[in-house]
Amino acid sequence: MTDGWGFRRPDDDDRTAAQHTPPAVAPPASFWWSDALNDPWRDPHSPVALVPPAERAHAPVPEPLAEPDHTRRRTLWTVAGAAVLAGVLAGVLGGAMGVRFSDDRQTARSILGSTASPPHRAPESLAAVASMLLPSVVTVRVPVDGSVSLGSGFVASADGHIITNDHVVSGSSGVVSVIFDDGTSSPAKVIGTDPESDVAVLQVKRGELHPAMLGDSDAVAVGDAVVAIGSPLALRGTVTAGIVSALDRPIATDAENGTTRYYAAIQTDAAVNHGNSGGPLVDAAGQVVGINAVIKSMAGSEESAGNIGLAFAIPINHARRVAEEIIAAGRAHRTVIGAEVEESFRGPAGGVRLGEVTATGPAAEAGMRTGDVVTSFDGRPLSEPTDLIALVRKTAPGEVVEVTYKRGATSHDAAVTLVADAD
């Protein structure tokens, strides 16, 4: 019989045959075993008797048997054995490699940490707010004197109206265009501007617009989280975050046409730089509460100014009113109180002294006169002339505000109904 590797094990028949083999005659060469003394299955302690076979009378001489084709059988067994061996080795090697690679991956995971599930972002998270607003924000490209000036803006209506700053589009010498968050661009028509409030309205003609939701800037509180979105330094789609640092911060800046811009700004520490102008300031609900317009800096010139955490936005209630007037009539009206202010006055207790008071204006109708010192406007104390002008501009025509003023040593309260200018 044979073992599992193709080798033959001597059995009892083989031993019997060996007993009848004459000792004087060497056994014939065998394919399996040629040396019984070295047979690994031989039992050296078993009794052995060598008995020569009895001669048979007149036994016919057998014809010699044909020698088996040991070469062919050797080849077949060799091929079969090699195939089996190769299969076993391949399995062992494959298993070893699988274990090795699995161990390597397991080692890498143990070193670098396992892969976590994608984070769940709440609808009020900053990431969700940014994702909501980015499709509404545009980069405004304005050709100016052979070069291109960049600013920001946002889509405010399904009709393609885009709100930005007046100073972003002022001085344009060609066709203004806007670039959307997906990289596509469209030409834009300047519908109108209001240099004094620093608001401008553009319009594009294209489908699939994503108008931003406009919030209520009067509901904003100091400490509210806000996000500024725009294209600072030409980096489109930049999102920065901060808080509302202050409200009704009076801002007065000079426009290129010689007028002065006034508004009571929302102050924020969200990073704002050149190129953010005209972009939205957004609250935690994803609603626009202001238009980023100006920054304060320690730099010696406006061109080299950068963010130091003091940025200012036009309240959206003010900007919305101006934009709607521009869309409806091509221009916006200023809100006035019907009096001039004395720029040089600095009272020991603060306040703003009135210069000429228009005879039929709101201030005169409320009983105020030239020389009166206005100490508070709608509950807000005043210390600089800019304070009064900015707060008046912020208020819509027709609104009634409480004003406290002094005439000599006597303090008076008055209800003043503000109006739009006649120009």
Active site residues: 167, 198, 277
pLDDT: which is higher, 160 or 8: 160
pLDDT at 405 over 80: yes
pLDDT at 398 over 50: yes
Long-range contacts of 127-131 (CB under 8 A, 24+ apart): 128/286, 129/227, 129/282, 129/284, 129/285, 129/286, 130/227, 130/229, 130/239
Give CA–CA dist 277/168, Å, rounded: 7
Residue 376 and residue 403 in contact, taking contact as beta carbons nearer than 8 Å:
yes
Q: Please, what is the end-to-end C-alpha distance for the chain in angstroms?
A: 121
**Buried/exposed code over 378-414 (b: 16+ C-beta within 10 A; e: otherwise):** beeebebbbbbbbbbbbbebeeebebbbbeeeeeeeb
pLDDT score of 308 = 87
Give CA–CA dist 136/130, Å, rounded: 10
pLDDT tens readout for residues 340-373: 999 888 878 889 999 999 998 999 999 999 999 9
pLDDT: which is higher, 7 or 420: 420
Give CA–CA dist 152/292, Å, rounded: 9
pLDDT score of 56 = 53
Residue 238 and residue 232 in contact, taking contact as beta carbons nearer than 8 Å:
yes
**Distant-in-sequence, close-in-space partners of 160: CB < 8 Å, separation ≥ 6:** 203, 204, 205, 206, 209
pLDDT score of 39 = 47
pLDDT score of 116 = 72
**Buried/exposed code over 199-222 (b: 16+ C-beta within 10 A; e: otherwise):** bbbbbbeeeebebbebbebeebee
pLDDT: which is higher, 96 or 197: 197
What is the rounded average pLDDT of the residues 394-405? 94
pLDDT score of 30 = 44
What is the rounded average pLDDT of the residues 182-186? 94
pLDDT tens readout for residues 71-113: 555 555 555 565 656 565 656 555 555 545 455 555 555 677 6
Give CA–CA dist 268/309, Å, rounded: 7
What are 68's two structure tokens?
């088996």
pLDDT score of 33 = 44
Q: Determine what percent of the chain is predicted with pLDDT higher than 90.
A: 57
pLDDT score of 18 = 47
| R_g over Cα of the chain | 49
pLDDT score of 353 = 94
Give the model's confidence band at 187: pLDDT under 50 very low, under 70 low, under 90 confident, else very high.
Answer: very high
Specify the pTM.
0.71
pLDDT at 160 over 70: yes
Amino acid making up residue 379: G
What is the rounded average pLDDT of the residues 10-28? 48
pLDDT tens readout for residues 223-268: 999 999 999 999 999 999 999 999 999 999 887 777 889 999 999 9
Give CA–CA dist 228/238, Å, rounded: 8
pLDDT at 68 over 60: no
Residues 362, 365, 370, 374, CA torsion sign: negative
pLDDT tens readout for residues 298-322: 766 666 677 788 999 999 999 999 9
pLDDT tens readout for residues 114-157: 777 777 777 678 999 999 999 999 999 999 888 889 999 999 99
pLDDT score of 41 = 46
Name the average pLDDT for the chain: 81
What is the rounded average pLDDT of the residues 378-400? 93
